[in-house]
């Protein structure tokens, strides 16, 4: 049985969690699992979660679902920690595992779940803390380059770039009139910077998450590469668009787009003629000379509360949610992807060319946010610094120095 959130809202709005008025009392007795999710908003998506995924769970539990948007999730979880009210099953973002696991919020999971569920081992770093598994990738959102195949054919370009040097050279070759060779700015600038940094072999933090690593030169080089594309005339920060708006690539004003699988539903609705096999294709972010290409990994992770009174039942629910058919339903509902590659036939997923491409390239998922218990304190301060450099308000050295100061201040507070 799934208890509808809509039926419970009236008595719950004043509590730390949207459903805590019911969920807190229900959560104190066995057999009721409280789930918080930033995904599945909207009637159709809720029906997928409630009727297809949760209602088919055969364990001895009913479920209460709290739908909390990404913009409020961190605050709500932090408030819940302070008040001692934490849901049993928690959906969070990439980079969120170490900060909350370090506070004892997320329980350790059996190490063999990756092999049991067939999850690609390349995704393991985003759900580990101190070498232990504290969550699982649930549905992912990936980034790669999408290009206009017609223009490539017209220009006689038959191969995609195999290095960052080749990418820059290709963008110079594609310069012609009003067409923008590449759009790298219609995404969050923080994430684009991390993507380029990974291509250079860099990471945000040391392996133990207690020191900055981007200060080794890779952070500055990644930012400089982005600025070099602008200086070349290949990219233009002023032509970026807001999320949900048709991107320059969709308007056929850009030839290459650093895009996300999360854009696929918009492309299907707004630009169906541009996403056929004849019209477009994809390639991974190429590495610097000698480095592997890189797929950027985002999406939704699933963790279990350490102090859940229903811990065994919650893990049974987790196993249920990782049934391949249910992963496909969850991903299709949210424009995201299953974290496994051995999937049953599914027309909706198979029609998502961007998703199929990303799913086939999980081995290269080497770019992602986080890596430190201090990340949530640092996270929202990175984008403005990167944007300050891209708009000419400050130089590369100043930007990296600012980020190092911000990061070290947060890292120094780690116990």
Q: Same domain, yes or no, for 329 and 209?
A: no
d(CA 207, CA 156): 43
Q: Which residues contact 19 (CB under 8 A, 6 or more apart)?
A: 5, 8, 12, 34, 64, 65, 66
Clarify whether residues 109 and 255 are in a common domain. Answer: no
How many residues does the structure list for the chain? Answer: 415
Same domain, 60 and 208: no
| Residues in CB range of 297: below 8 A, 6 or more apart | 94, 123, 126, 137, 140, 141, 142, 365, 367, 368
- 115 and 230 share a domain? no
What is the arithmetic mean of pLDDT over 243-259? 93
65 and 85 share one domain: yes
- Structure-token pair, residue 411: 């890292």
Residues 11 and 49 in one domain: yes
Q: Is the pLDDT of residue 138 over 60?
A: yes
What are the two backbone dihedrals, phi and then psi, of residue 110, each rounded to the nearest 5 degrees? -55, 135
Cβ partners under 8 Å of residue 159, min gap 6: none
Residues 395 and 288 in one domain: yes
Quick one: 31 and 121 in the same domain?
yes
Residues 369 and 391: their CA atoms lie apart, in Å, by 23
- Global confidence as pTM: 0.91
250/376 same-domain check: yes
Do 140 and 336 touch, CB atoms closer than 8 A?
yes
Q: Are 186 and 317 in contact (CB under 8 A)?
A: no
Q: Which tens digits make up the pLDDT trace of 269-325? A: 999 999 999 999 999 999 998 999 999 999 999 999 999 999 999 999 999 999 999
Q: What is the CATH number of the domain that holds 208?
A: 3.40.190.10
| Residue 97: domain span | 2-140+297-364
- pLDDT 10s digits, 83-99: 888 999 999 999 999 99
Both structure tokens of 147: 């290009």
Task: Give the pLDDT mean for 169-179.
Answer: 93
Residue 155 reports pLDDT greater than 50: yes
Between these two residues, 42 and 295, which has the higher pLDDT value?
Answer: 295
Q: Are residues 350 and 393 in the same domain?
A: no
Tell me how many domains the chain contains.
2
**Do 111 and 149 belong to one domain?**
no
Do 182 and 246 sit in the same domain of this protein?
yes
């Amino acid at each position: 049985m799934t208890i509808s959130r809509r039926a419970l809202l009236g008595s719950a709005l004043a509590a730390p969690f949207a459903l805590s008025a019911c969920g807190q009392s229900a959560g104190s007795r066995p057999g009721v699992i409280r789930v918080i999710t930033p995904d599945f908003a909207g009637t159709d998506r809720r029906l997928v979660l409630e009727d297809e995924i949760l209602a088919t769970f055969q364990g001895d539990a009913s479920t209460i679902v709290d739908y909390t948007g990404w913009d409020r999730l961190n605050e709500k979880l932090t408030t819940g920690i302070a008040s001692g009210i934490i849901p049993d099953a928690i959906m969070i973002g990439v980079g969120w595992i170490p900060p909350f696991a370090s506070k004892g919020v997320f329980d350790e999971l059996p190490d063999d779940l990756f092999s049991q569920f067939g999850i690609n081992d390349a995704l393991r770093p985003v759900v580990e803390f101190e070498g232990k598994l504290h969550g699982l990738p649930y549905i992912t959102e990936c980034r790669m380059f999408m290009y206009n195949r017609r223009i490539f054919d017209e220009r006689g370009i038959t191969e995609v770039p195999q290095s960052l040097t080749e990418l820059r050279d290709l963008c110079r070759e594609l310069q012609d009139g009003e067409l923008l060779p590449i759009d790298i700015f219609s995404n969050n600038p923080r994430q684009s910077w991390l993507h380029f940094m990974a291509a250079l072999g860099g990471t945000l933090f040391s392996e133990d998450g207690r020191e900055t690593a981007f200060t080794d030169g890779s952070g500055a080089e990644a930012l400089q590469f982005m600025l070099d594309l602008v200086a070349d005339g290949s990219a233009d920060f002023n032509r970026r668009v807001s999320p949900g708006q048709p991107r320059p690539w969709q308007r056929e004003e850009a030839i290459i787009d650093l895009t996300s699988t999360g854009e696929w539903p918009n492309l299907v609705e707004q630009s169906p003629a541009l996403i056929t096999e004849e019209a477009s294709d994809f390639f991974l972010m190429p590495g610097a000379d000698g480095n592997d290409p890189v797929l950027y990994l985002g999406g939704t992770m699933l963790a279990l509360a350490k102090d859940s009174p229903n811990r065994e039942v919650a893990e049974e629910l987790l196993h249920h949610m990782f049934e391949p058919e249910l992963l496909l339903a969850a991903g299709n509902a949210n424009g995201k992807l299953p974290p496994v590659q051995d999937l049953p036939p599914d027309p909706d997923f198979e029609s998502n060319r961007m998703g199929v491409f990303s799913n086939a390239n999980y081995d290269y998922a080497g770019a992602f946010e986080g890596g430190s218990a201090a990340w949530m304190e640092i996270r929202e301060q990175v984008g403005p610094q990167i944007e300050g450099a891209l708009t000419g308000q400050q130089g590369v050295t100043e930007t990296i120095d600012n980020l190092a100061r911000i990061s070290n201040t947060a890292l120094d507070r780690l116990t």
